[in-house]
Structure 1
C-alpha cells in the first residue's frame, strides 16, 4: 500500500509530577490501560527497530534496544494495548545505507506494524520508501536530518529535534560564548552535512560569528592531519564538529595535538563516552555538545535509571529514553486508533496533544516534527558528558 504524501512545507511514569499524565493521557483511558473495545485480535502488535549493532556506532544500538524493550515490558505487564501484547523485532542497520535497506525489507517481510528505529540519518533515509510502500508508520527516535521530513511522507514522525533545531541551539550558544570565527567540520553524511550547512546559513545570515572554514572529512579514516591543519590555519576561536563519535574523538585529539586550544563543540551523534576514550580524557575535557536529553540530565529520572540498570545490568546511554518514548508513542497511537490500520495510526499520531514524554508534552507539527527541539548544551566534566546549560 502506498501512502499519500504530504506537501513538503518551506518523563516517563517516574517523572514525579508527570506520572499521572503519562498513565492517564488521552481520551478514554491511559496509555498503559487496556480498553474494552479493540480490533478483536489477540495477535501481538509488532514493533520493528533498525539500530546500529555493528560498525563504528555500535555502542548506541543496545541503548536504543534496551530502552524500547523496557517500555514494552512495562506495557505488557499492565495488560498490553486492548489485551494485545507488544513485541520487538530488532535488525542491525550498522549506520550503513545498504545494511539498513536490507534490514527494512526484512522487517516488512516479518510483518511489523510500526517502525520505532532509526539512528543514523544517512542509513534511515533509504528505508523511508520501503516502509511507505509497505504502509508502516515510522516513529524515529534518534535520526534527525531535516531531509527526513523534507520527503513529505505522511507516515514519518520524528521525536528527536531536527538538524535545523540543533543548528539553532549551536548558533545561540556560540554567540553567547562571544565566538567570532567559527570552523565547521562535517563527515559528508546526510545528518552531519545537514547540521553544518544549516549552522553556516544561520551564521551567515546573522551579525554574530563568522564562518572562516567549512571542512569535510572522510569517515572511517584514522589520520585527519590534513583537515586539522586546515582548521588550525583558518585561525578559528570556535570549532563545531557535526559528525559521529568515532571520527569526532580522533578529530578532538588531533586538534589538541596540533596546538588548537579554543572551544570545541560536537553534535549529538558524538555524545557518547567513547568520544572521551578515543580523544583521551585530557583532550576531551571541556568539549561542549548540542544534545537532546540523556538519562542523567533528566530531573526525576532516577527510578527509571534504576529500573534500566536492574533489568539490563548496564547504564542507560544516549537515545535510550527516546527509544523508550517511541514505544510509548506507538502504543498511544494504536490505543487511540483502536487498531494497527496504517491510516488510523497516522491520524492518531497527528492527533496526539500533550502526551508526556521525557522531552516534555508531545504535539507534532504539521511536518511531523517536535514543536520544540529540546536541545541542551552538555560538556565533558571530569571525563563524562554532563549538563552545561539549557536552551528553550
Structure 2
C-alpha cells in the first residue's frame, strides 16, 4: 500500500475525530429565529393590474398592502402563535373568466380571505368559488346589487351599491339640474349596464324622459356613431354607465359634435384619470362616489399622508376602502383568535369598526349599513362636492 496514501487516510481520520469532539451544533429548527416560527396568514388581493383599469387596480391593491404591513408591525398573535400577513396580489384583468382562474389559484393557495375583486363583472363569478371553498370575501369597490343578492354568507362590501347611486344621480339630474330629456349610454358590463338601468328607472320615476338608450363596450374608443344618433334627440343630459377610460374620450367626442348636454357618470368616472383624459371638455361634468367625500371621511387626512409616504403617489379612488376591508378581516380574526375562516367568519358580520371611510357595520346580506352616496362636479380639473348648482356648497351627501 502506498505510504503517502496511509498518511492521507490518517490525516482524514484525525480531522474527523476533531470534528466529532467539537461542540455539537444546535438543531436548525431549535435555533431558527422567531420569524421562522410565525404562522403565515395569506390574504388574496384581486384587481386589474394591467390594461385600462390598472390605475384603479394598483390603487386598490396598495390599500390592502398598507393595512397588512401595519398589522405586521403590531406583532399580532392568534391562538398563541405570532402571525405574519402575506398579501398575494393577482391580476384579474377586470375579466370574468380570468377572475375565476384567479379565484381558483387563491383557493389552491389556501388564502384566509380575499379583498376584491375591483369590478362587479369579475367579483360576482369569482364569489361563487370563494363561497364553495368557505373563504371570506370583502369588496371595497363592487357596487352591483347582484353581488350581495346571491345569498352567500361569506360575501361583504363596505361601499354603497349602484341602486343607491343611480337613484341619487337621477334625482339630482331631474330635480336640481332640471334635465328632463336624458340619453343613457352603458358599456354592457355588469357594472355599467346595471348602473344605467337603475339610473334610467329612477329618472322616469322622478319625472324625466329617457329619449335614447345606446350601448358600447369597455374597450371602445370611437363613440361618434352613437353620439350622432343621440344628438338628433336633443338631450339635455347624457348619462354614461362605465369607467373613466371610455368616459374621457366620450365627452371629448360629444363636444366635437357640438353636443352641449350635461355629462354625468358615477364612481367609475369620478377620478383624476377622467379629468386628464377629458381635459377642458370635461369641465362641468357630474359624477358620484359610492361613499363619503374625502373631506368627510374621518380618517382620510392621516391615511392620505401614509399612502403618499409609502407609495409616492396620489390615491385614485378605492385604496381607503380596500384598506378598511383588510382591517375588517384582521379585526375579525383578532376577535375570533383565529385566521381560520370557519372560526372568524361569524365575527365579520358582527363588525363595528371606525374606518378611514367611516363607521363600518354590515346588514344581514353583507351590504354595508347606511351606505353613503356623494355627488361631485368637475371644476378646473378637480372634482368638488356639490349640493345645488347655485349654492356652490363644498359637499353633499
Aligning the two structures, in what range does the TM-score lie when normalised by the shorter sequence?
A: 0.7 to 0.9
- Residue segments in structure 1 that go unaligned for 5+ positions in a row: 1-40
Q: Displacement, 1:167?
A: 1.0
* Residue aligning to 2:74: 78
Give CA deviations for 1:350-388 in whole Å, capped at 9, x if unaligned.
Answer: 1123x1123321221122101222111122221122323
Taking structure 1 as the reference length, the TM-score comes to 0.84
Helix, strand or coil for the counterpart of 1:311? Answer: helix
Give CA deviations for 1:33-55 in whole Å, capped at 9, x if unaligned.
Answer: xxxxxxxx941221101101011
* Residue aligning to 2:331: 332
Q: Displacement, 1:81?
A: 5.1
Asked whether 1:149 is paired with 2:148, we answer: yes
Residue pair 2:46, 2:89 contacting (<8 A) in 1 also: yes
Mapped partners of 1:296, 1:225: distance in 2: 37
Asked whether 1:385 is paired with 2:383, we answer: yes
1:11-30 alignment, distance < 5 Å: none
* Residue aligning to 2:50: 54
Residue pair 2:293, 2:385 contacting (<8 A) in 1 also: no
Mapped partners of 2:177, 2:262: distance in 1: 9
Give CA deviations for 1:20-69 in whole Å, capped at 9, x if unaligned.
Answer: xxxxxxxxxxxxxxxxxxxxx94122110110101110111221111111
Mapped partners of 1:147, 1:287: distance in 2: 28
Asked whether 1:69 is paired with 2:28, we answer: no
1:312-391 alignment, distance < 5 Å: 312-353=311-352, 355-389=353-387, 390-391=395-396
1:238-317 alignment, distance < 5 Å: 238-279=237-278, 281-291=279-289, 292-293=291-292, 295=294, 298=297, 301-317=300-316
Over 3 Å counting, the alpha-carbon distance change for 1:210 and 1:138 in structure 2 is same
Over 3 Å counting, the alpha-carbon distance change for 1:367 and 1:193 in structure 2 is same
**Size of the alignment, in residue pairs?**
349
Q: Displacement, 1:92?
A: 0.2
Q: Displacement, 1:274?
A: 2.2
Q: Displacement, 1:341?
A: 2.9
For the aligned residue pairs, the C-alpha RMSD in angstroms reads: 1.8
Mapped partners of 2:157, 2:167: distance in 1: 17
Helix, strand or coil for the counterpart of 2:54? Answer: coil
1:129-148 alignment, distance < 5 Å: 129-148=128-147
Mapped partners of 2:370, 2:233: distance in 1: 34
RCO (CA 8 Å, sep 6+): is it higher in 1 or 2?
1
Residue pair 1:297, 1:387 contacting (<8 A) in 2 also: no
Q: Displacement, 1:342?
A: 2.5
Helix, strand or coil for the counterpart of 1:270? Answer: coil
* Residue aligning to 2:181: 181
Residue pair 1:363, 1:370 contacting (<8 A) in 2 also: yes
Residue pair 1:182, 1:238 contacting (<8 A) in 2 also: yes
Mapped partners of 2:307, 2:218: distance in 1: 32
Q: Displacement, 1:295?
A: 4.8
Larger deviation, residues 86-95 vs 288-297: 288-297
Give CA deviations for 1:188-208 in whole Å, capped at 9, x if unaligned.
Answer: 00011111111222223x242
Asked whether 1:216 is paired with 2:209, we answer: no
Mapped partners of 2:77, 2:57: distance in 1: 26
Give CA deviations for 1:49-99 in whole Å, capped at 9, x if unaligned.
Answer: 110101110111221111111111112112235342222110001111122
* Residue aligning to 2:392: none
* Residue aligning to 1:201: 201
Over 3 Å counting, the alpha-carbon distance change for 1:343 and 1:234 in structure 2 is farther
Mapped partners of 1:364, 1:238: distance in 2: 35
Taking structure 2 as the reference length, the TM-score comes to 0.83
Over 3 Å counting, the alpha-carbon distance change for 1:54 and 1:154 in structure 2 is same
